[in-house]
Each structure stands twice: as C-alpha cells, then as structure tokens.
Structure 1
Amino acid sequence: MATVTVTISGPLLSTLIYEHCNSPGDQEGFLLGEICSHITDTISDAQLHAEKEETNLKICAIISCDLFEFYDKKCHLVADKLSALLRDKQKDVVGWYRFRRNASLQTSLREQVLHQRLVRRLGQGYGNYFLLALFRGCTSSNEATHSMEHVFLRSTDPAFKHYSAVPLRIVNLGEPGHSDYRMYPGSAASIHQGAFCEVLNSLSADGSFVMVDHVHRLHNLLHTKLREVLNSVSESEEDAAAFADDILQLRENMDR
C-alpha cells in the first residue's frame, strides 16, 4: 500500500489563507503542482527486501476564483470559462479547493459532483490522487480569535462518495538534522513550473543572467521597503510608549 502525502511550502499556504481571509465570501480555486512517486528498497540483516512506495503530491502554485466562475448551478463545467481561467496550466492541475465560512469540513453533494467532473476533465492522469482541499474560517463569540482549519481529501471509490484525508507536510527552510542520505528531494518547489522554473529558463547559453538581475533588484527594493517600515514601526512604538507614560502619570495625579 503506497503512502500518500501532500507537500506545500509555508509561504504558499500563508498566501492561500491570506486570500481566504480577504475574500468577502466563499472562494474556490485550483491547486497546481506535480505528483512524484518513488520506491525505497531496504535490506535487513536477514537479507529480506522491504519495498516502500511513497507518493508525494507537490503543490507549487494556486489559481483563485469566485464561485460559479467555471461551472453553472447544475455543476456542469463550462469549457470556455475553464480554459480561460487555467490557460496553459491545465496539465499542472493536481486538485482544487473550496473555502467556506462557518461550515464543516465535510464534502457536500455539490462538491462531490463537481469533483467527479473535474477528475474526468483534468485529472485523467492522476486517478484517485486528484485532490479536494476544504478550508473553513471561524471566529470566537467576541470575534477576538480567528481560526482557519483545512483538510486535503482524495476519493477512494469510483462513485466519488467516499473520501479519505491525506496528511499535509509543510516544507520550511530548515531541515531536521540527520545523517541519512536523502534519496529524493524534500522540497515543495518544482523545477518544471513556478518562479524557480522561470529563473532557470531565463539563463541563456551566452552566460547572461537577466532574471537573476531582476531578482537581485527586487531583493534590494524589498530590503529598502522593509527598512522604511521598520523605522515607521519604531516611531509608532515610541509614541505608544510615551502615551502610556502620560496615561500613567495622569492616573497617579487623579489618585492624589
């Protein structure tokens, strides 16, 4: 039995949650990435072979849209709208997501029907690995605490009525320390799509690094902007501290 996991980077997951928080209502979109499978063969002291198959669903980018943007109220896909939304990214779609406010993380009948038709349209090469990600946002009674919950699902039967949760692994910059050989890349980045692919494709044979120069320029601009924000925050913190001292002084004068 193969082990299936979903891999996404921390910045991309933060971007996805940020999109949900800023949306006025429910939101949908597509998950772009690739599927990688590998088999690890280990030999024990008894010369017994143990093969372990792992399938990793890498999510490298997202395409967000509003409700009913690529299908009608009967959940029939509109081919023209779907093509205009995905453009040349149809082969990179590994799943889709749905964000709902104050709702359970259970698939509805509409989502099951829509998922089935999306699999037949876009997920022919993925089979039951085509993902359905559900997100929901909740607030406490006094609206002081906002929480965001999510689950990644894949269908387990041909009728698309039963779904199983797929564990999510968030890739950060740091890697745990160990001495084992890394047999496969653990990053969520893909060399075939995304910004990393654009940087690689920009490297010409004559040795010019146009895209790399753009990245350095962008880094310098972001660094300058960060310093401006840092100075602004520092000044506001000093003002807040001064106001707090004034309030404390006024309270002491009133107590006298």
Structure 2
Amino acid sequence: MTLQLVQVNFKAGDDSALGRFWAEALGWGISSEAPGVTNLEPVGFDWPDPAAVCVDLVRVPNPETVKYRVHLELATASEAHHAELVERLKGLGATSADEVQGAAVPWTVMADPEGNMFSVLEPRELYRDTGPIGAVVVECADPRAMVRFWGEAIDWAVHELTDDRALLRSVKGVGPYLEFRRTPDDEVTWNRVHLDVMSNPVSDQAKEVARLEGLGATRADVGQGDVSWVVLADPEGNEFCVLGRG
C-alpha cells in the first residue's frame, strides 16, 4: 500500500484571497503552481510528508455548486491560545457560525471568508503534537464502513473506532488525524472541500486507482476533463482525487 493523504483541496471563488486567509490562520507559507491555484504548506516543508496535510485552493467559476462533507479543525495549546486564535481569525475575515452547532460546546465553529465551515478546538491532549490542523473531519453515515474503505486505502493506522467516530493517523505518528464522524443527513453542513491522495512512487497511480476501485471506490466525473489526477468517490459518495504527475 503506497497511498498517502497529502492535502485538502478547497474550491474557491478567489484562491489568492482565500489562500492569504488560510496562510495567516495556519502560519504557513504560500505559493502558486499555476494561475488559479494557491498552495499552502509549512515554511521549509518538503512535500509530501505525513508531518502535515497541506492545503490547495483552486479557483472555479461557481464554487457554490460543488459540495463536500469535509472540514478542518484547528488545534490550540491553551484556553488563552484558543481565545487569541478566534479573535485573530475574526480580524482576518472569519465569522462566527456557532448557530450551526446548536448546543453549547467548548470549541468554536467559524466560517472562512468564502463560507467554508471549520472549528477552533479547545485544548486537547490528543492534538498537542499535530501542528495547527488537529483533524481533517469527514462527516458520514457509518464511520465503521468508512474505516473499512479508508483504512485500506491509505497508509494510516486506526486509533479509535466506535459507531459514532473513527480516528486515523499516519503510521509514523505525526501530523493531523483523519476523523470520520457520524452525522445525521439533516445535520450535514455542505462545503467545498475534498481530500487528495498520492501514490509513492507517483508512477503507481494507475495501480492504486485499480486497487481503490477493488475496495469499493467508483469513478466520478466533476467536469475535470483531461487532467493528471483521477477523481474517485468513496463508498458514501465523497469525491477525492488520486494525484498523478503533472
């Protein structure tokens, strides 16, 4: 098994502006591999590396029509850090979205300048060494079923598995967690974010795509045209990309 989760992909109306927000939010560097594409990663980072799941922002004409069930949760080191980060994010253009959460909770739900939901977590020992992104969360109907697919799909270990939540992390014990969280259909918050995975070596892309299809993935057409990546959907219909050589 050679697949790794390498980045989270945002569809954006303005990739440059949204990229500046997330670069400031995460304290990461910003670059661009092509017009309409903004790349974020830790300063000095040698991509790809499981120590961080990076962020790519891709400009699309109408991002509101692309919907995925993925969001980021940011880690904090203390109550003071939590409060400071929330205020700093508001100063960068984020808005409060606590009404989405409903009941009072210790974390803060927010939306970035284009409306993508994310959470700023209260201090948690589990996320003390993850970096600024504590978890990449995928809302789903059945965490156990998702782990049966994703636990085989990528080279990450299962750290927790219940009917309501599953946690995976790189086998190297670094970087953020990938969380599958049971969410009733009427409580799902749709946004415009999906996962990108990549084979190592990249030349194994076709082999890995075939393996994923054997695990239950299906081909997906989102209007990508002739590109170096392959768009698939997991067993619950969440699209993701298997990157190739550009």
TM-score w.r.t. the length of structure 1 is 0.21
Structure with the bigger RCO (C-alpha within 8 Å, sep 6+) is: 2
Structure number with higher strand proportion: 2
